[in-house]
Amino acid sequence: METLSWGAIVARLLSQLLPVWIGMAAVFALSFGFKRRLGLYGQLFDSTIGMIGFAIVLFWALTGIFADTIITFDPLQQISGMKNKVPGTPLPEAVAGYRYYLLGGDNLARDVFSRMVSGATIVMQIAPLATLFAFMVGITLGLPAAYYGGRLDTFLSFLANLILAFPVILLFYLLVTPEIVQTGLPTYMAGVLFLFPIIFLVVLWNSRYFTQRGKRAAYLAVTLVLGLWLYLGVAWNADPLGLISVPPNILIVFVSVVFVNSPTVFRIVRGLALDIKTRDYVAAAQTRGEGPWYTMLWEILPNARGPLIVDFCLRIGYTTILLGTLGFFGLGLAPESPDWGTTINDGRKLLSIYPHPAIAPALALMSLVLGLNLLADGLREESLRD
């Protein structure tokens, strides 16, 4: 068989990604149909930039979700004779399965396309969730720092600035090494950081339904049971039911990314809250006799949502870059892991002779971050409009 031409490669790639196209078409059709009833999300479809960004992000999200049906080979499978082959190279006759390496083979004779698609799953699992956790930590600490001020604020701000003064890469090198994993430090950090979402939700429900005993008890019970179950499983690997466990190297990557992101979120939330604190509706809530946490979480926070949503999108992109940086220095994730950073790091050694194994994940990462940036831009534009 002959090596495929670029046209044929593109056609095969497009057909391989069919589930993604169907999913995107469905989401876009539904969103357009109910545009006016979807709030800020619906408004996004009025801005071209925002729509392009959303389409790119959706593409990678769906690619991550449907990765198992899209990939043509197992991302770790090595097929002899396919080492560093150019895109579109046919497989040896004896091997069963898909007939081509669509984007070529890497230096261990693995399929570049399948690795790139599997990499999307890893990035899409870690980046949004880690950003969400960083936001929970940043909000839970940033609101009281701004609201109460004084010593608490001085102390927390000093702590945040201390972490921000570390060069990110030094921090990663200090935290994400096998030796540090041995000491159990990441587990303790996870133990502290993963408490924040539970605290956040408990305080959120408690302050909201303080006067409605029944509702408060129900919400708190659900949050605590689910939250503590997840907490035990994820942070301490001690799930009593044995359902949840996170591989230690994923956990440490997750924890360090949350740790690096939280101080910045803290600063943003603190800055926004300091501004909103002086508004009349906050004074009104205080006069009504609302508790401090109600004022913070149900008066100040909802009014800071615009900038926070925009920053959330940007920060997912930044987290993706951080994950790539970790992979690039070979920290945390397993060396054969198909995530984009590790793959780029693998490919860069032979970059000047065989560029394709590094180019594919590089373009993937770049397009995802670009999509998130455009999405954030569109959201900012639309949220400023009203």
Partner 1 sequence: MVPFLIRRVGLMLLTALCLTFIVFWLTNLPPNLEKLAKTQGTVRMTDAQTASWLETRGYARPLPVKYAEWLGLIPAWTYEDSYGNAAGRCIGDGIAPEDAPRRCGVLQGDWGQSSVFREPVSEIIGKRLWLTGKLMFWVLLVMVPSALLIGVLAGMREGSRLDRTLSTFSIATTATPEYVSGVILIAVFASSAVGLKWFNGTATGAMEDATFANFTLPVATIALFGMGYVARMTRAAMAEVMTAQYIRTARLKGLSFGAIVWKHALRNALIAPFTVIMLQIPWLLNGVVIVETLFNYKGFGWTLVQAASNNDVSLLLGCSVVAVVVVLLTQLISDVGYVLLNPRIRIA
Residues 350-369 that bind partner 1 (CB under 8 A): 351-355, 358-359, 362-363, 365-366, 369
Contacts by 44-52 with C-beta closer than 8 Å and gap 24+? 44/375, 44/378, 44/379, 44/382, 46/382, 47/378, 47/381, 47/382, 49/374, 49/377, 49/378, 49/381, 50/374, 50/375, 50/377, 50/378, 50/379, 50/381, 50/382, 51/378, 52/371, 52/374
Q: Which is nearer to partner 1, 337 or 373 (CB)?
A: 373
Q: By rule CB under 8 A, what count of residues binds partner 1? A: 47
Residues 367-386 that bind partner 1 (CB under 8 A): 369-370, 372-374, 377
- Helix intervals (H) in the chain: 6-16, 18-33, 39-43, 48-65, 67-70, 112-148, 150-165, 168-175, 178-183, 185-193, 195-208, 213-235, 248-276, 280-288, 292-294, 301-303, 305-328, 340-347, 356-385
Near partner 1 by CB under 8 A: residue from 347, 378, 379, 382: 347
Candidate segments 104-112, 159-167, 218-226, 245-253, binder of partner 1 by CB under 8 A: 159-167
Tokens (6 digits) for 177:
């090494």
Interhelix angle for 168-175 vs 248-276, to 10°?
A: 140
Which x/- pattern over 165-194 shows residues binding partner 1 (rule: CB under 8 A)? Answer: xxxxxx--xxx-x-xx-xx-x---------
Give the count of beta carbons closer than 10 Å to the beta carbon of residue 117. Answer: 28
Instruction: Say if residues 37 and 31 touch (Cβ distance below 8 Å).
Output: no
Q: Which is nearer to partner 1, 129 or 370 (CB)?
A: 370
Q: Does position 338 bind partner 1 by CB under 8 A? A: no
Which x/- pattern over 239-278 shows residues binding partner 1 (rule: CB under 8 A)? Answer: ----------------------------------------
Near partner 1 by CB under 8 A: residue from 341, 378, 379, 382: 341
- Report how far residue 137's alpha carbon sits from residue 121's, in angstroms, rounded to the nearest whole number: 25
Q: Which is nearer to partner 1, 197 or 327 (CB)?
A: 327
Which x/- pattern over 36-75 shows residues binding partner 1 (rule: CB under 8 A)? Answer: ----------------------------------------
Residues at the contact surface with partner 1, assessed by CB under 8 A: 158, 161-162, 164-170, 173-175, 177, 179-180, 182-183, 185, 317, 321, 324-325, 328-329, 341, 344-345, 347-348, 351-355, 358-359, 362-363, 365-366, 369-370, 372-374, 377
